[in-house]
Structure 1
Amino acid sequence: MTTERTEDYLKTIEAVVSKKGYAQVKDVSSALGTSPSSVTGMFQKLKNDGYINYEKYGGVTLTNKGKNVAQNTKAKYGVVRDFLTVLGIDDETADEDACRIEHVLTDDTIEVLTKFMEFIHKNDELPLWIDHFRHYYDTGELIQCTPSDKENCPVHGSRKKMHD
């Protein structure tokens, strides 16, 4: 079982490596807002745990084990962030919350949430009930409109496309 800190480091290392082929202490330190000495210590721990290839003063790359953790963490983040934005959470808050939530959800919960988001995205438009929820959230007013009367429904005046 990995820790939240380990997952954040591996996800950050993967992002840097994908841009320049390797990561250095200064890259990870800057991205995570932590001291270079903390990063060096964590690099040694990650190396000992088999997550990274690391030589002191050299570049860092992920092992297959490290890549798996980084990619799984990134996927969890993406699903959670997508879910939050569909609910109407602003991008900045969704980013912050998804980064925290990604570490605590079980694999079963992530699987269900992933399937739910796949279901939502099967259509070009958000389901009508999402509009109803957003209206209820904003006003406290519960409006029930059927798909057949959506043209006359006050909630559906301007439908938002999923891909906008």
Structure 2
Amino acid sequence: MEIRESAEDYLERILMLNKSMGQVRAVDIANLMNFSKPSVSIALKKLRQNGYVNIDGGGYITLTESGLEIAERVFERHRLISQLLMALGVDEETAKEDACRVEHDLSVESFEAIKEYCRKNLQIQ
């Protein structure tokens, strides 16, 4: 199933928030992404309907197995591409912004080649 870039961004942010805060609610996502609460609510409804997140009675959001798989893939791409760009001399803010653009469209083959290059030549894991 193909997933849209915006959904990948939401899943990645949920993962990031979960790592830093432990529990995630819609308001946390809205604050992090600088989106309105209604926009986040609509996105979360779609993510839930597609089986990527669960939302309990207290409003806490967790990633399903498929949601976690996507989030971890996108997060790994973002992290590695950011580190590569910074190693090449790009400032951190620009590197992170550019990584966010690239992470969604890069083929598996290209990303694996970049990952191997970084591991061998730059000691970036």
TM-score (norm 1): 0.71
- 1:51 alignment partner in structure 2: 52
Output the aligned Cα RMSD.
1.5
Please tell me whether residue 97 in structure 1 is matched to residue 68 in structure 2: no
| Structure 1 range deviating more: 14-23 or 81-90 | 14-23
Aligned 1:15-94 pairs, distance under 5 A: 15-55=16-56, 58-94=59-95
Q: Where do 5+ consecutive residues of structure 2 fail to align?
A: none
- 1:14 alignment partner in structure 2: 15
Q: Indicate the SS of the match to 1:94.
A: helix
Aligned 1:110-129 pairs, distance under 5 A: 110-122=111-123
TM-score (norm 2): 0.91
Tell which has more relative contact order, 1 or 2 (C-alpha 8 A, sep 6+): 2
User: Size of the alignment, in residue pairs?
Assistant: 123
Distance (whole Å) between structure 1 residues aligned to residue 30 and residue 53 of structure 2:
16
Distance (whole Å) between structure 2 residues aligned to residue 72 and residue 109 of structure 1:
14
| Structure 1 range deviating more: 11-20 or 30-39 | 11-20
Distance (whole Å) between structure 2 residues aligned to residue 87 and residue 29 of structure 1:
32
| Structure 1 range deviating more: 78-87 or 13-22 | 13-22
Identity within the alignment, %: 31
1:44–1:54 contact (8 Å) kept in structure 2:
no
Q: Where do 5+ consecutive residues of structure 1 fail to align?
A: 123-161
In our comparison, the structure showing a higher alpha carbon Rg is 1
Q: For residues 54-110 of structure 1, what are the alpha-carbon distances to aligned partners after superposition, in whole Å with 9 as ceiling and x for unaligned?
A: 246611110111110000000011121121112111111101111111111011110
Please tell me whether residue 4 in structure 1 is matched to residue 30 in structure 2: no
Distance (whole Å) between structure 2 residues aligned to residue 79 and residue 37 of structure 1:
32
